[in-house]
Amino acid sequence: MERSLTHIALFAALIAVLGLVPKIDLAAGVPITAQSLGIMLCGTVLGARRGALAVLLFLALVALGLPLLSGGRGGLGVFASPSVGYLVGFPVAAFVTGWLMERTTLSVGLAAGLSAVIGGIGVLYVFGIIGMSVMLSKTLPEAAFLGMAFLPGDLLKAVIAGLVTQSLARMRPASLLSRA
């Protein structure tokens, strides 16, 4: 009970930190924030249920008025902005990522990377694109076109999520709750 609670709270904090650290310089010259990487890690490390709860807790803090989204955004306004679809998709993305991670028997790094691609990109984009389509009154293909700008950066983040998860599994096998 306590352990679940603190893991959820600490990973919610991790998502926030990854959005606040201005430049982790994930790869040379690519100006991306690591916030969605935090969503992926919630799934690959904590698993479906706890990962999704950590993301929900993070979103609750944003809604409460803390400027924790990348770029210092926060408050209720972000839930009325065109990116609301991505926010709604965050917990689902973490859940799907964790669910896949729990069920595959692939090696940890590969499983984490692939789960992050399917959950953290595929599922997240479906929500994000529907959100933009509704908020900006665009058709789905038009909204999808707008959303594709982030695809290269997100693919890179999925690879990093796989590498980080693999390193964690090697250093501290018991820490990987998604494979516990």
Partner 1 sequence: MLTLTSPVEIWAHRVPAGLKLALMAAATTGLFALATPLPLALALLATTALYATGGATFAWAGLHLLRPLWPFIVVVAAWHLWTGDLTGGAVVLLRMVCAVALANFVTMTTQLSKMLAVVQWLARPLRAIGLSPRSLALAVALTIRFIPVMLERTAQIRESWSARSPRRPRWRVLVPATLAALDDADRAAEALRARGGAA
Q: Of 118 and 146, which CB lies nearer to partner 1 in the complex structure?
A: 146
Q: Does the footprint of partner 1 cover residue 31 (CB under 8 A)? A: no
Q: Of 105 and 128, which CB lies nearer to partner 1 in the complex structure?
A: 128
Query: If binding means CB under 8 A, how many residues of this protein chain bind partner 1?
Result: 61
C-alpha distances in Å from residue 94, one per residue of 107, 128, 145? 19, 14, 24
Q: Segment near partner 1 (CB under 8 A), from 37-45, 99-107, 110-118, 121-129?
A: 37-45
Q: What is the DSSP string of the chain?
A: -HHHHHHHHHHHHHHHHHHHSS----STT----SHHHHHHHIIIII-HHHHHHHHHHHHHHHHHT---BTTTB-SGGGGGSTTHHHHHHHHHHHHHHHHHHHH--S-HHHHHHHHIIIIIIIIHHHHHHHHHHHHTT--HHHHHHHHGGGHHHHHHHHHHHHHHHHHHHHH-GGG-GGG-
Q: How far is the CB of 152 from partner 1 (least distance, A)?
A: 15
Binders of partner 1 in range 54-113 (CB under 8 A): 57-58, 60-61, 63-68, 71, 73-82
Q: How far is the CB of 12 from partner 1 (least distance, A)?
A: 5
Q: How far is the CB of 145 from partner 1 (least distance, A)?
A: 10
Residues that bind partner 1 (CB under 8 A): 1-3, 5-14, 16-18, 20-21, 24-27, 34, 37, 41, 45, 57-58, 60-61, 63-68, 71, 73-82, 135-138, 142, 146, 160, 163-164, 167-168, 171-172, 175
